[in-house]
Chains A and B, each alone.
Chain A
Amino acid sequence: MSGFLGPLDADGRVPPQQQTRVAAFLISAHGALARQFALALPLRIETAWQTELNAQFYRESEIVSLLQRATIWVPDIALGYMAASWEAAWLPPPTGLTGDRSLAPSVNLATLAHAVHAAIRPAALLPTEASPADPFVLALRRIEFESGRLLQAQILFLKGPELLPFRDAVSAALEQRHNEVRRLWREMLASIGIDPRE
């Protein structure tokens, strides 16, 4: 197991097999968020916080679009099975988190988005020799950077006054989401010989 993507080719590019699987995972996660934000986004924005939904939707879509175009794709027969397990994991949990049914969908979406934006650090997989001119390398850096910004909306909501009475339940649900997302990320990375803890 290696701690970083590679070995890089002579031009500092990540192997296509690794690009394919990493990009597929990220597209699955950010694509799920884009779909869920799209569903939550009203046709007409009535309140100020809904502007953030609009921003989140388009930035998630941008990440998906970027990866589709910046990745060197190769056939990968394991992807079908893996993608199915990822997609199942992004679904909201069956029970409400807070006891307040009206808040549950927002909390579910925010916890998933927090986990994806905080727990997944694709740029941290890049070795120092990775070419800054390579589109895939740049895409991973951009996704990690944008995730740190997108995360702020989830932090504000999950730490906000509306959820203060449910702080323990929200924290527990978020930790669980983090653990799930980390597990899937690590399993995917292990399948291409990467262990970020190495």
Chain B
Amino acid sequence: MECGASDEGSRSQKLLANAMPFLSHGSYRIRYELDGPADAPAYVLVNGLTQYAELWAAYCDALLARRFRVVTFDLLGQGVSDKPALFINQDDHVAVLHRLIGTLGDGPVFLSGISFGGLIALRYAIEHGKRLSGLVPMSCFAELSPQLLLIGNALRTGLILGGTSYLQDLLLPMNLSDRWLKPLLDKLDGVKRQGWLVNDVYALQNLMESFLDFHPITSQLSSIAVPTMILNGEFDFLTPRCLHETLRVEIPDSALVIIPEAYHAFTLEKGALTADLLARFAEDVLAGRWQGNKAVLIAPGEPGGELSPFPAGYDHLRAIPVQRPSP
């Protein structure tokens, strides 16, 4: 079964959706897509809150070209997957992911998720880390800071009062750069339409409520033993650096990679670069070259470029060049 088509062919995507495979989770059906050679290492990609599987199309192409298997899916409550009417529990997402990864056989599995999906990936790694070869949380968090809690509540209120379209109106400028938005200013309705069509207010609300009351997992992060590359956009103010720093400090074999000039949704804006980073990370892990060392690195501007260490002596948690206090 092929990975999703590009975002633009929404009608043909829906035609494809009728032939897509589904996974059972209790009485619910989870739509997923799997492509690539059966003996290749697999990448499982977990959506953010308002996403749907087709948004990973560019990643599928890039990772398949690098000889990975790629799995994408709509979370319970998203896209073409079933949408529980009243309650969605975070445990359900982890259980679905476990079931999905269980279908992949015994080969290496790399797990990556963005934002809400990153949290699900972290929880999976805590509970089933032995099944993973590597983990890539992106634009992610292990606890709700007061800012994130209040922003989350405000976004939920926006969804309730203004519907999915208003939530998208809030998220687009918050999560994407001027450079990305400017040429699309006249076409934003088209950009939003597929997400608006496939995501329902009540289901998004259930998804949001499933994480607004979640318990912090910071104290469990140290149990994640797999190599972990944490990706954070330079200008991500929805989940800022300090939330990623928690992951870097707590996860033993981790490195924090800052994506230059990127916001929260850099997987959309910088797909080619991010896909390249994912592939290189997995290749390094499989070749035994990966060394996390809790390093702080800066990603290149373009795919294939070199990662560079954050300048020694400076505080990577600051937006201005402030020197760290001497130990």
Scoring A residues 150 to 178 as 1 if CB is less than 8 Å from chain B, else 0, what string do you get? 01100100110000000100110011011
Instruction: Give complex CA distance A121, B203 in Å.
Output: 13
CB distance from A147 to the nearest CB of B (A): 8
Whether B85 pairs with A175 at a CB distance below 8 angstroms is yes
B-chain residues with CB within 8 Å of residue A178 when the two chains form the complex: 85
Which residue of A114, A121, A128 contacts B85 across the interface (Cβ within 8 Å)? A114
Scoring A residues 174 to 195 as 1 if CB is less than 8 Å from chain B, else 0, what string do you get? 1101100000000000000000
Whether A128 pairs with B193 at a CB distance below 8 angstroms is yes
Whether B14 pairs with A148 at a CB distance below 8 angstroms is no
Instruction: Give complex CA distance A114, B205 in Å.
Output: 13
Stretch at the interface among B194-202, B220-228, B308-316: B194-202
A46 within 8 A of B: no
Instruction: Give complex CA distance A158, B202 in Å.
Output: 13
Count, A-B residue pairs, CB within 8 A: 54
Instruction: Give complex CA distance A3, B17 in Å.
Output: 13
CB distance from A155 to the nearest CB of B (A): 7
A-chain residues with CB within 8 Å of residue B163 when the two chains form the complex: 144-145, 148
| CB within 8 Å of A: which B155-214 residues | 160-161, 163, 189-190, 193, 196-197, 200-202, 205
| CB within 8 Å of A: which B7-59 residues | 11, 14-15, 17-18, 27
Whether B160 pairs with A197 at a CB distance below 8 angstroms is no
Instruction: Give complex CA distance A144, B201 in Å.
Output: 10
B86 within 8 A of A: yes
Whether A171 pairs with B85 at a CB distance below 8 angstroms is yes
B-chain residues with CB within 8 Å of residue A158 when the two chains form the complex: 86
In addition to A118-B201, A171-B84, 10 A-B residue pairs with Cβ atoms within 8 Å of each other are A3-B11, A114-B86, A117-B202, A124-B196, A128-B193, A144-B163, A149-B160, A152-B160, A159-B86, A198-B14
Residues in chain A within 8 A of chain B (CB atoms): 3, 114-115, 117-118, 121, 124, 128, 144-145, 148-149, 151-152, 155, 158-159, 167, 170-171, 174-175, 177-178, 197-198
